[in-house]
Amino acid sequence: MKALVYTGIGQLAMQDVPDPTSDFVVRVLGCGICGTDLKTYQKGHHLFPPPAILGHEFYGLVEKAPEGCGYTIGDAVVVAPYAECGACEVCQRDAGSLCAHKHYVEDGAFCERVGLSAGYIERGVFPVKDKDDVYTLVEPLACVLNGIEQLTLKPTSKGLVVGAGPMGALFALLFSTKGIPVTVVEPSAPRRQRIASWGIETCEPGHVKKGLYDAVVVAVNKKELVGEYIGLAADAGTVLMFSGLARDEVVPVEAYSIHYRQVSLKGSFGYAMRHFKEALSMIDAHREAFSKIITHRYPLERGKEAFDLLASGEALKIVLKP
C-alpha cells in the first residue's frame, strides 16, 4: 500500500509499504494533521524515530473484520489512537488520560490501511453515521473536553481562549455550543477574522479586560502567557495550561492571584475514553459547527505541501486523504 513516510526532519516521502496483516483492517478515508505530527516533522520526536508513518486522527471503512466482532465490511468507523487500561490506580481515579498502561494503535494513519488487533476493537473502535471528514476531529475534540473538564464551568462562566490555532478554535466552538460566552485573543488579524466570522468575539493581545474571565485556556506554547493570564483571570477563576511546554520549563506565577484571589492553575494532557465518546456524540450533534475547523483537504501524495502549509499558520485543520 501507499504511505506518506516521515524519513527525517523536514522530510516526507510517498513509499510502498507492506499491507497490515492484522485481523481487523480499516481503509483510511481521512486523517488530520495534528500539532504533534507537525512538531515531529519540524524538530523530530523521541517517540517517532524515522522512518515512521505519522497520523492518528483518522476514520475510515472496515475492510477486514473477524467474525462476530460487531462490524462488517464497509462499515464507517472512527478509531481512537489509544485507550486507557481502565483497571490501574490512575484509571480508577478517573484520570485515564494519564494511564501508564494504555493500549495503542501501533501504526500511523497517513497511509491507505491501518491494522488493529482483535482486542482493540472493543476498546477503541466506534461506528460513525457516514463518510464525513468531521470525524477526524473526534480525537482533538476529546483532548479539548478533557481540558474543559478541568475548568469546572458554571452557568455564569465567561471563557477566554488564548490563541486561535486549531485547538484554540476548537475550544472556542466548544464554549459556544455549551452556551458560554467566549472571547479569543489572537495577534494574527486573518486568524481573528476567521473566528469572528463564526460569530465569536475576538480581541488583540493587550486588550483583554482584567478580572472578567473565570475560564481561561492557554492554547499557545509560550510560558510567559501562563503568568500573564493568571494575573488577568477573574477572582476564583481557573487558567488551563493546554499547550505543552518542555519538561525543564519553569512558569513564573504571581502569588497574589493564587492566594488572595483564589485563581487556580490547571493543566490537561490527552483524553480518556469517556472524552472520546463524548466528543463523538458532540460532533454528531453539531456537525456543521465543527466542520468549520477543517480548512483544507489534500491528497496523501501532496502531504508534504500540506505540512508546509500548516507550518505557515494559514490553515486550521488539514485532512490528508489517501
Which residues contribute to the site for Zn ion (CB under 5 A)?
A: 34, 84-85, 88, 91, 99, 101
Comparing CB distances to Zn ion, the nearer of 34 and 215 is: 34
Residues 233, 161: Cα–Cα separation, whole Å:
11
Minimum distance between the CB of residue 140 and Zn ion, rounded to whole angstroms? 5
- Which residue in the block uniquely carries the three cell numbers 483510511? 28
CB of 155 to Zn ion, least distance (A): 30
For Zn ion, the closer CB: 97 or 183: 97
By beta-carbon proximity to Zn ion, the closer residue of 84 and 112 is 84
**Number of C-beta neighbours around residue 10 at 10 A:** 14
Rounded to a whole number of angstroms, the minimum distance from the CB of residue 310 to Zn ion is 12
Asked whether the bond before 322 is cis by omega within 30 degrees of 0, the reply is no
Q: How far is the CB of 204 from Zn ion (least distance, A)?
A: 28
Nearer to Zn ion, 91 or 184 (CB): 91
85 vs 253 by CB, closer to Zn ion: 85
Cα 46 → chain centroid: 20
Q: What does R_g of the chain's alpha carbons equal in angstroms? A: 20
For 41, the grid coordinates are 516533522
The DSSP code sequence of 196-212 is: HTTT-EEE-TT-PPTT-
Q: How many CA atoms lie within 13 A of 124 on its CB side?
A: 29
- Within 10 A of 251 (CB to CB), how many other CB atoms are there? 14
Burial of 183 by CB count in 10 Å (0-12 exposed, 13-18 middle, 19+ buried)? buried
Strand partners, 239: 216, 265
Minimum CB–partner distance for residue 219 and Zn ion (Å): 13
Nearer to Zn ion, 174 or 180 (CB): 174
Q: How far is the CB of 87 from Zn ion (least distance, A)?
A: 6
